[in-house]
Amino acid sequence: MHCTVETVSEFTYFESILLGLSKALKKCVGVHKTYLKKLPSASYTDISTWEQTQDVLMPEDLRAFYTSSNGFMFEWTYTLAGDCHKDKVNGSIKINPLQHLVPIFGFETSLEPGVKLDTERYQIKLSIESRLFIIDTVPDRGHVSIVKLAYNSIKCKYINNLKDKV
């Protein structure tokens, strides 16, 4: 069996995570500076310790992220009117380091997890296997969270049992 491992530059990695935002911002009139601060990766021991302390298993894709980078901060500065000293606005995207990642418990669960548009708002239904984590806090605004939807295995087993009986 042949296995190919693709190596990508750090820039390409973060450009992918940011969905091309840094390239798009550099093309925008009024953007003066972009800055990326990447934290060194977390070890498997760090992640295992966090999971034991928080009493929750981290989804594989989130674990993979933290083993490549223990969080990051991407910031940009731009002006609205083209004047460098007037109307200066800062933007940022931040994913906290592992030690600041906070799991959320106590959410209502559903046998039919998923996301759907209900008139003007999205409704999210979570299964018991779903996971929620606070990845950043915006002062006086709220939390930025990551939601890992999971298919409810109990429902899957129930449907399979019905098919066997038919």
Mean pLDDT, all residues of the chain: 78
Whether this model's pTM surpasses 0.75: no
Q: Who wins on pLDDT, 7 or 45?
A: 45
C-alpha pair distances (Å), 73 with each of 91, 152, 158:
10, 34, 44
Domain coordinates in residue numbering, the chain: 1-99, 101-166
Residue whose token pair is 């934290």: 39
* pLDDT digits 0-9 by tens, 105-121: 888 888 888 888 888 88
List, for residues 75-96, the tens digit of each pLDDT value: 888 877 655 555 566 888 888 8
Kindly tell me if the per-residue pLDDT of 163 is higher than 50.
no
Identify the weakest region by mean pLDDT among 27-31, 33-37, 40-44, 154-158: 154-158
- Determine whether 32 is exposed, middle or buried from the number of CB atoms within 10 Å of its CB (0-12, 13-18, 19+): exposed
Mean pLDDT of 148-165: 48
